[in-house]
A and B are shown apart, each in its own frame.
Chain A
């Protein structure tokens, strides 16, 4: 009864108390910390919040503190839309949103230009949203699926002495929008470079893959691209081991390249490679998070061992990009006061995080140089390949890999112009 009482009191308080939030930059975080993808969501949002807390502890962005609010979506599109609608008007209005879910992002895609709230899609979602003329408020920052697929082929070609002619590559994918997204790029590159592409779908969630791996063993491919998500990844790695398929030949998408995917597979994962848009390792910014936040009990993750894990670092990267966008926008629209959603959009479109800037925030070479423009909302497209040594991830490509940019750009233009035609939009850059 007491709990119920306090919940009711809390709800009433939350509804009635509306303090003034004048000097705050509000970010909406429709996150997920329960449900089938909780391990990814808690690490990613934990990373964003840790970085925000760190910035706030140092006085904010030119004195403007960052405020945020989470809302549990459980990775469910319907609840995600509800969360977005709830968060967008809080604390004077959200000026940035990151749902980390393709379905939720699609669900709010048409709402954000109306609400003038920019949305980032860090490493997922519509790849063609990189065209800022058609999608002015959408930012698939750092690298989209298409850039990643092109980079994967580039890496595999380099590994085979520069050419994939006559080789056989299996695309083992999660049978959903996410798994099918890279197909246009892979098919175009197969035709162009003369390798054979074998497409093998896995029905979600992918906890049974015996048939698929038998098929792979018969096909004798030179490489397997594992485009998996959640439980599918560790099952794939373990089934590959059982079928005697060398893990070194498997190249995972970046949602198949975290500790949560390899640790449950135990020894089977040793030698497994996956894509990443971070360089694994330790960085001054992570040390700061450890000392300034977690020592003081203000960290967001419950398990300190996860600091610097793949998902956490991805979240920290997102946090850095968001804060840099705020800084960029403030430089144009006036320092020391919060920017609006439209101004934030401008900031995201004019990001320039080069090596010097990365070093200044304590994240030198943690992620590729990001330089966005109206034509290119992705800003980079560069990725790395990492390998699991049984205990941790190590980068095995010292430099950032960039695939066939011209091809990706062509596909982006085709697809986004089709969208614009369907929606009666006039593609144009916003001032």
Chain B
């Protein structure tokens, strides 16, 4: 009923291969983007923008990066936050050391630095896989944070190691209000999500999935595992690096090693597990779940006038219970739930 596809004929290869084959999906996506870009900046409160939507988009981008690596290419990683840190610190250094460098270029260069680090730490993936690789990428996490606290050149010689992010200025336009920062983040994230969606549909994405599903077989049919795996590490780290730079510049306002702790890596891992491993939409759903739920629970507990100590622990308990619930009911995450819902809506009101 809601997804009646009757009458939607595809007569060309282009039409058949388009991004979203169902018309309803296309309309929904365009409407969502239009609302997000045109209506939200004017309607949402500064709190909504700067404390909820901006971190949601940034975490979604980081989850997207991890999803490319883990979901599509099948390489487990626990170093997401480290790649984010590289992106943030590299961007800060580019802006601080090269006068007049365009801000967006600094973000891209920061992402490229993260990609280089990603390739370096992706090398073990050629020999080991699964949990062993996860442990190896854990080394990235410790190594990068150690470097950032040890080498004071990277933090501009600041005594405490915490530095304030520079003002975002693009072509003379200063992004200092929550609205402007939100629009910038939205643009970057939407563009990169579109890129990722196309990437995973291309032969690059197919070779990632082939390596994920069985790398021996992939090699037999002519996919070079080394190139494929390292490309996945590079692209994934690039996404994480840009997310890290946005996290520092558009959200926190400071650049410091402790913001990129192992804890953050785990949170992003939970995002893709709950959102859906190997799904672009899943990265967004997972980020929304992890960012919004604690805030919602916190506000709800406050509304119930619970003592704060109880409220904080209740938050952890409900959060943990919901994660377990989701994983039991739908191990493939929220994206799969949405897919099932879509199938049901197609047949509504006569489901199987």
A-to-B contact residues, CB < 8 Å: 6-8, 10-15, 31-34, 42, 45, 69-72, 74, 76-79, 81-82, 85-86, 88-89, 102-103, 106-111, 126, 175-178, 180-181, 183-184, 203, 302, 415, 422-423
Contact = CB atoms under 8 A, between A and B. Distances in A.
Contacts of A81: 50-51, 251-253
Interface of B: 45-47, 50-52, 55, 146, 149, 159-162, 164, 247, 251-254, 256-259, 263-264, 294-304, 308-309, 311-313, 315-316
B300 A78 contact: no
B253 A110 contact: yes
A111 B51 CA distance: 13
A9 B281 CA distance: 30
A265 to B, nearest CB: 25
Contacts of B45: 89
Given A72-B315, A109-B164, A7 B300 contact: yes
Contacts of A6: 304
6 contacts: A14-B300, A31-B308, A45-B308, A106-B256, A180-B160, A203-B146
Nearest to B164: A110
B263 A76 contact: yes
Given A14-B303, A33-B309, A177-B256, A78 B251 contact: yes
B51 A85 contact: yes
Contact of B258 (A110, A176, A184): A176
Given A106-B254, A107-B254, A42 B309 contact: yes
A34 B316 contact: yes
A405 B108 CA distance: 46
A176 B150 CA distance: 10
Contacts of B247: 78
A77 B316 CA distance: 18
B259 A103 contact: yes
A74 B263 CA distance: 12
Contact of B159 (A45, A109, A184, A302): A184
Contacts of B160: 102, 126, 177-178, 180-181
A14 B162 contact: no
Given A7-B304, A72-B308, A102 B47 contact: no
A176 B247 CA distance: 20
Nearest to B298: A72
Given A71-B298, A102-B160, A176-B149, 9 more contacts: A6-B304, A78-B55, A89-B47, A103-B162, A103-B258, A177-B160, A180-B160, A181-B160, A302-B309
Contacts of A71: 298
A126 B50 CA distance: 24
Given A78-B55, A78-B252, A85-B51, A10 B300 contact: yes
